[in-house]
Copies of this chain bind each other. A is one copy, B any other.
Amino acid sequence: MPKTITPIAGSLRERKKLKTRESIQREAMRLIQKQGYDKTTIEQIAAAVEVSPSTFFNYFPSKEDVVLYDAYDPMIGKLLLDRPADEPLSVAIRHVLEEMGGIFERDREVILARARLWIEVPSLRARLWEELEKGQDFMSGLIAQRSGRAADDFEIRVTVMVVIMAAMEAMREWVRHDGKGSFVATVRRALDLIDAQARLDSLASPDRETR
């Protein structure tokens, strides 16, 4: 059994795959912007990229995923993880938000277009839910770990979901106003509104005293 050496990140194959992936997504978005989501078929997208429909499904498990896939999600996750473990969660969240602010400003147009799709196309809107739940699982797990509670702690899950919904509603509000104004500021407003920070802090602080 020949040991497979660690695949080089920049190998021809890898680079090609990445290129194809990006092409598919770019062409898909272009067509969808032009004709609408429902009227754009996988066949059309594949034709535009000059690959077969089969190949499309090699890269994206469903049509929704092309629009849904978001490079920022993993970024946010990483930023959150990189925060010192003893930092209060509310502070961490605010930090991450500000750190993303620049990117959000820079990619404003792209983000706005995609957010609009998320909100306006029923199947995408519904599908977005899945992603929110993944976010909830991720954050809940993180807090659970740091606070020494169970991963499915009711209190944690409720609180985290509330925070996520605040961000979600902020996005909707931001889109409703055609992306005028700062997205980050809108999220901040929502967070202030639900006033969840204090609660998050009390959850996130490790139970040092009890230990």
Contacts and interface: CB of A to CB of B under 8 A. Distances in A.
Given A159-B193, A162-B194, A194-B162, A154 B125 contact: no
B173 A154 contact: yes
A158 B169 contact: yes
A78 interface: no
A126 B172 CA distance: 18
Given A154-B173, A158-B169, 9 more contacts: A125-B130, A128-B129, A152-B176, A154-B190, A154-B193, A158-B165, A159-B193, A161-B169, A162-B162
Interface in A127-173: 127-130, 133, 152, 154-155, 157-159, 161-162, 165-166, 168-170, 172-173
A165 to B, nearest CB: 5
* Chain copies in the assembled complex: 2
Contacts of A157: 169, 172-173
A122 interface: yes
A155 B122 contact: no
A21 B127 CA distance: 28
Interface SS of chain A: helix
Given A125-B129, A126-B130, A166 B158 contact: yes
B176 A166 contact: no
A79 to B, nearest CB: 24
B130 A127 contact: no
Nearest to A131: B126
A122 B165 CA distance: 20
A134 to B, nearest CB: 12
Contact of A193 (B158, B172, B189, B193): B158
Contacts of A130: 122, 125-126
